[in-house]
Amino acid sequence: MTTNKTNISSLVEICAQKGITRIVLSPGSRNSPLAIAFNRHPKIQCYVIVDERAAAFFALGMAQQTQQAVAIACTSGSAALNYAPAIVEAFYQRVPLVVLTADRPIEWINQGAGQTIHQRDIFKNYILKSYELTQEAKPKTEDIWFNDRQINEAINLAYFPKKGPVHINIPLREPLYDLVEKTNHIPKIQELVEVENTLSKTVFEKLKTTWEGSKKKLILCGLMEENEQLNTVLEKLDTDPSVTILTETTANLWSEKFNPCIDRLITTIEKREEKKFAPEILVTLGGAIISKKIKALFRRLQPKEHWHFDIAGEEMDTYQSLTKTIRTSPEYFFEKLNAENSLVKSDFQKTWNDRNDYTRKRHNQFLKKVKFSDFKAYEIILKNIPIGSNFQMGNSAGVRYVQLFDQRKDLSYHSNRGTSGIDGSTSTAVGAAVASGKPTTLVCGDLSFFYDINGLWNPYLPSNLRIIIINNSGGGIFRIIPGPSTSDELDEFFEVTQQRTAQPIAKMYNLDYQKADSVESLEKVLPKFYRKGKKAKILEVFTPRKSNDKILQSYFEFLKKNNER
């Protein structure tokens, strides 16, 4: 048996036919037809998470790992608004989510009815598109056709031309719990036929001529999912001495030929030598870039050409120098270019590579003498994450520390860098661990962890999940970035100093808990922490609040010393 709401049973069947196998439901009455229908469908796995914000980030983590759309469904009223942080993250991270919000009958909006607000287009600024089903869909009417068409279109749009969240608002009348043996309506499935965007011979030849006419070309890679084909193509392209490739951890690209630690390298470039590092052609791939240093550098240098590759054709002029948005996949273009490209005599790649080698050497020298701190803790942790792990990076200071260390080929790097908020890091990691089944480590700050405690409020915490909290007693990022550190309000209003620990939280959610507060204790505890067990685990690393920023500052100063250059 299933719900007697034809529009709901149709929605569930279309989801199943289009490969949506997971939905995260939050309890409520108005969405009960959705819960009944999804739960009773044999091809769909249901998860129930009370807190809608945590539920949406949990779904985001699952979709992030599988690159398949995950549905979320909530009751009417303010419940829907709690989805907003995860939806905006999915929008800018380009992760497919199907957002289902149950609603009260539309005639009761603004009439004093409980849990009744304006829900149509509620996410309009950060959703690919919003839809609303008719609230009374009787069999053999155009309402059924209209609803089926909207559902098909919404799910198709979550995948193409770019992935992202879509919203379907569903007004429902009582009764809500009535059942039928089976629905008589079989919905039509509208298949989306994806096509590749290619370049005409004329356009390609024009780009190729410009490319080969330049001796200084730089490819900057931002947030994207793993792409072996692109990785291979870029490695081959990097045999051209006029090409250098810079990658961030979230680009999930790796080669010994690439330059992965942008901030570490850029901080050593003095103004007098900037021109020799300046590209004539800047090519950007993927989404947002973490490094503020590279943004500032290229905004100053203003490359003659800036090509941005985006299959959806969205223009992103991060460096105020955009000249071309190329609406095709970068692997298609560079594979074609590799087949015909003539190597250009240049020392541009060598200039970047030599500096990368120098800063790596200085980096390793600094690590040998640095005291226990956030910086030292990250070094030890990054060495000990198990091979083949999914690594979830917390925001603010955390992801920036990770960017200073050479990327590991055997890890998958993920972080909520679509909008870069600290909310939802734990929930996302839990969802990622559930969906991937891989060893999953989240490393985040104390405020980020405490902010998302409800990410642990669910029965799905898997034994492959490890959470490492860098507890420096507040928002350490505010001691690092310029401005707040000189303010009288630093401790109370920005850093928000606190003395809480995660131990009571671990006990509350029945998780194993360990702690460390020195090099020796951290190195000793990590093997035990990563040993297989029946529970998820938390490791809390206590670092000195007032020295972390000084150590990081001394690190950058150490890199800049040019006695050996």
Strands (E) in 222-355, as ranges, are 243-247, 281-285, 305-309, 324-326
Q: How far apart are CA 369 and CA 312, in angstroms?
A: 48
Structure tokens at 250: 């979230």
Domains of the chain (ranges, CATH numbers)? 2-174 (3.40.50.970), 201-355 (3.40.50.1220), 370-560 (3.40.50.970)
The per-residue pLDDT of the chain, averaged, comes to: 93
Q: Residue 194's pLDDT band (boundaries 50, 70, 90)?
A: confident
Q: How far apart are CA 554 and CA 289, in angstroms?
A: 24
**Residue 237 belongs to what H/E stretch?**
helix 228-237
For residues 185-194, average pLDDT: 90
Q: Residue 75's pLDDT band (boundaries 50, 70, 90)?
A: very high
Q: How far apart are CA 223 and CA 77, in angstroms?
A: 34
| Pick from 157, 144, 146, 151: nearest CA to 186 | 144
For residues 154-181, average pLDDT: 94
From residue 263, alpha-carbon distances to 55, 287, 311, 392 in Å are: 34, 18, 28, 20
Main-chain phi, psi angles of 102, to 5 degrees = -70, 145
**Single-letter amino acid, residue 535:** K
Do 470 and 548 touch, CB atoms closer than 8 A?
A: no
Structure tokens at 85: 């942080």
- For the CA atoms of 308, 310, 312, 314, the dihedral, rounded to the nearest 10 degrees, stands at -30
Name residue 101's beta-bridge partners: 74, 169
**Could you give the angle at which helices 52-66 and 425-436 cross, rounded to 10 degrees?**
40
The residue written with tokens 């030890």 in the block is: 380
Q: What is the pLDDT of residues 347-402, one digit of tens each?
A: 999 999 999 999 999 999 999 999 999 999 999 999 999 999 999 999 888 899 99
pLDDT at 192: 87
From residue 359, alpha-carbon distances to 260, 355, 372, 404 in Å are: 12, 6, 21, 10
**H-helix segments, 312-373:** 330-340, 348-369
**H-helix segments, 370-453:** 374-384, 397-402, 425-436, 446-451
Is the preceding peptide bond at 161 cis, omega within 30 degrees of 0?
A: yes
Do 457 and 49 touch, CB atoms closer than 8 A?
A: yes
- Beta strand pairing call for 217-221 and 22-25: unpaired
Q: How far apart are CA 165 and CA 128, in angstroms?
A: 6
Q: How far apart are CA 535 and CA 492, in angstroms?
A: 36
3 state SS of 445: strand
Q: How far apart are CA 68 and CA 52, in angstroms?
A: 20
Residue 148 — left, alpha, or beta (φ > 0 → left; ψ -120 to 50 → alpha)? alpha
Do 518 and 372 touch, CB atoms closer than 8 A?
A: yes
pLDDT at 41: 96
Q: What is the pLDDT of residues 324-342, one digit of tens each?
A: 999 999 999 999 999 987 8
pLDDT at 342: 82
Is the preceding peptide bond at 482 cis, omega within 30 degrees of 0?
A: no
**Residue 525 belongs to what H/E stretch?**
helix 519-529
Structure tokens at 104: 């009260």
Structure tokens at 448: 């980020």
Q: How many CA atoms lie within 13 A of 511 on its CB side?
A: 29
Q: How far apart are CA 359 and CA 355, in angstroms?
A: 6
Radius of gyration of the chain measured on its C-alpha atoms: 25
pLDDT exceeds cutoff 60 at 565: no
Q: How far apart are CA 386 and CA 513, in angstroms?
A: 19
pLDDT at 480: 56
pLDDT at 548: 87
Q: Which residues contact 416 (CB under 8 A, 6 or more apart)?
A: 57, 60, 89, 93, 395, 424, 425, 428
For residues 542-558, average pLDDT: 90
pLDDT at 490: 61
Q: Is the dihedral of CA 118, 120, 122, 125 positive or negative?
A: negative
Q: What is the pLDDT of residues 95-140, one digit of tens each?
A: 999 999 999 988 888 887 778 888 899 999 999 999 999 987 676 7
pLDDT at 478: 55
pLDDT exceeds cutoff 80 at 191: yes
Q: How far apart are CA 185 and CA 144, in angstroms?
A: 9
Q: What is the pLDDT of residues 21-67, one digit of tens each?
A: 999 999 999 999 999 999 999 999 999 999 999 999 999 999 999 99
pLDDT exceeds cutoff 80 at 491: no
Q: What is the pLDDT of residues 271-289, one digit of tens each?
A: 999 999 999 999 999 999 9
